[in-house]
């Protein structure tokens, strides 16, 4: 391997910038011995390389350098898995971007039955920053619940509640959720709530309501940091430069505590009242070049 020079950067960053996987996943690839630099297997996370001089391979495939970054908003319909592939053969969200001529991957997750705003990008640095727990990027959801939760039950959710850590049956223990913001959006026998979280635990919203005795019927994510959902189900658009910069700003260290910024209630109400549309297979998305 070549000696580190002025242009050397950490391997996980190089891999993420090449659009292969997120930086967190790149770290796993390195630890698993699936990355080579100049013919030598590298397993140390602190290893640096020069992307202009060194030959870097992931699973034997030579990296071709950094890709042009793309940032897409998808309105994920329910019935799709938020992964690049699924061992059970279920359809994945990649269906909606596979004709776009660009390789991107989902940021965070929406479970199989949930729908709404899903950010997809090949910018591994930004993806990693957005999904770090310390960043506390707010996600806003519309949630339909079976039956009316009590005021005391909702207060439990607002304060934080103990839920199962992993998937059901894994016995990974229990964990306390972060405080949540909950607003009643539609009062009915099965009411709708606007719910704001700063975490992204496995099936977190469903588990939270189950702890107070209520089943969640529908979940629709309508906000992610500064983004507000504005495309129909099954459709995708590219983010503007201003939106990308707002996402970067959302993960920068805050100098002082400030008030929460969530998707405004009028926007949530508009999305709640919008007539549902049947998802359709997309034509090739029109992608504008991002500088």
**C-beta of residue 124 within 8 angstroms of C-beta of residue 22:** yes
Between CA 127 and CA 27 the distance in angstroms is 14
70: left (phi over 0), alpha (psi -120 to 50) or beta: beta
User: What are 92's two structure tokens?
Assistant: 């994945």
* H or E stretch at 76: strand 71-76
Q: List C-alpha distances in Å: 154 to 37, 148, 262.
A: 53, 10, 19
Between CA 174 and CA 89 the distance in angstroms is 30
**C-beta of residue 222 within 8 angstroms of C-beta of residue 263:** yes
User: What are 87's two structure tokens?
Assistant: 């061992």
Between CA 100 and CA 272 the distance in angstroms is 29
| Alpha helices, DSSP H, located in the chain | 11-17, 23-31, 124-131, 151-159, 204-211, 241-251, 265-273
Which residues, in sequence order, are CB contacts of 196 under 8 Å at separation 6+? 138, 139, 140, 141, 180, 181, 182, 223, 260, 262
What is the number of alpha carbons within 13 Å of residue 129 lying toward its C-beta?
15
Between CA 181 and CA 223 the distance in angstroms is 13
The angle, 0 to 180 degrees and rounded to 10, between the axes of the packed helices 204-211 and 151-159 is 140
Q: Any catalytic annotation for residue 123?
A: no
Among the listed residues 50, 54, 86, 111, the single catalytic one is 111
Catalytic residues: 111
């Amino acid at each position: 391997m070549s000696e580190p020079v002025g242009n050397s950067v950490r391997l996980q960053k190089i891999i993420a910038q090449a659009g292969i996987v997120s930086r967190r996943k790149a770290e796993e690839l390195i630890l698993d011995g699936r990355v080579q630099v100049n013919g030598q297997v590298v397993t140390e996370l602190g290893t640096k390389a020069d992307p202009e001089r060194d030959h870097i391979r992931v699973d034997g495939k030579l990296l071709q350098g950094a890709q042009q970054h793309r940032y897409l908003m998808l309105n994920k319909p329910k019935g799709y898995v938020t992964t690049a592939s699924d061992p059970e053969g279920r359809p994945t969200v990649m269906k909606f971007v596979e004709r776009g001529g660009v390789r991107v991957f989902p940021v965070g997750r929406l479970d199989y039955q949930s729908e709404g705003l899903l950010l997809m990008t090949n910018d591994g640095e930004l993806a990693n920053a957005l999904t770090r727990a310390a960043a506390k990027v707010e996600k806003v959801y519309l949630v339909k619940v079976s039956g009316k939760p009590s005021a005391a039950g909702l207060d439990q959710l607002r304060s934080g509640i103990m839920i199962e850590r992993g998937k059901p049956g894994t016995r990974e223990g229990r964990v306390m959720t972060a405080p949540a913001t909950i607003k009643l959006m539609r009062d009915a026998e099965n009411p709708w709530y606007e719910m704001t979280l700063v975490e992204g635990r496995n099936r977190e919203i469903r588990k939270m309501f189950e702890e107070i005795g209520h089943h969640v019927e529908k979940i629709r994510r309508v906000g992610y940091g500064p983004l507000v959902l504005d495309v129909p189900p099954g459709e995708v658009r590219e983010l503007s430069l201003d939106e990308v910069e707002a996402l970067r700003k959302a993960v920068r260290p805050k100098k002082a505590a400030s008030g929460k910024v969530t998707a405004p209630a009028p926007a949530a109400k508009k999305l709640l009242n919008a007539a549902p549309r049947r998802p359709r297979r997309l034509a090739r998305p029109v992608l504008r070049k991002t500088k």
